[in-house]
Amino acid sequence: MKPCVLSVLVSVCLLSGCAVARPSAVQPPTKSVVAYLFEANRLDAAESEALRLLQNPRHNPELHLMLGKIDWRKGKTTEMLRELALYVKEAPPGPLRDEAEKVLSTH
């Protein structure tokens, strides 16, 4: 398997982590709308809602992971990597950010 293909597969696995269901007490209702739309395969609506939420200066960095998942499903690998880079830039230190940095270092 080529390194590029492997890194894309790792990207998909990493991005799938942000779709894991969380208790509503932890996840803001507006973010769950993006996940709901994504899971319903309403990608354009999910993307529009995520972009709207990103306008808030205090947005959740995981929105970039959702946009990356949307881009991946639409076949937009370059845009997916851009969103992953934005996530790394904005997210607090942690295992998910570390994995994202590893994926980006292979591209």
- The count of other CB atoms within 10 Å of the CB of residue 42 is 13
* Per-chain mean pLDDT for the chain: 80
Q: Is residue 13 over pLDDT 90?
A: no
**pLDDT tier at 107, thresholds 50, 70, 90:** confident
The residue with tokens 């990207």 is: 11
pTM of the model: 0.70
Domains, the chain, ranges and CATH? 26-105 (1.25.40)
Instruction: State the Cα–Cα distance between residues 44 and 11, nearest whole angstrom.
Output: 21
Please report the pLDDT score of residue 93 as a whole number: 94
pLDDT-derived band at 103, boundaries 50, 70, 90: confident
Q: What's the whole-number mean pLDDT along residues 35-53?
A: 95
Taking the alpha carbons at both ends of the chain, their separation in whole angstroms is 15
**By percentage, how much of the chain surpasses pLDDT 70?**
71
Q: What pLDDT does residue 9 have?
A: 47
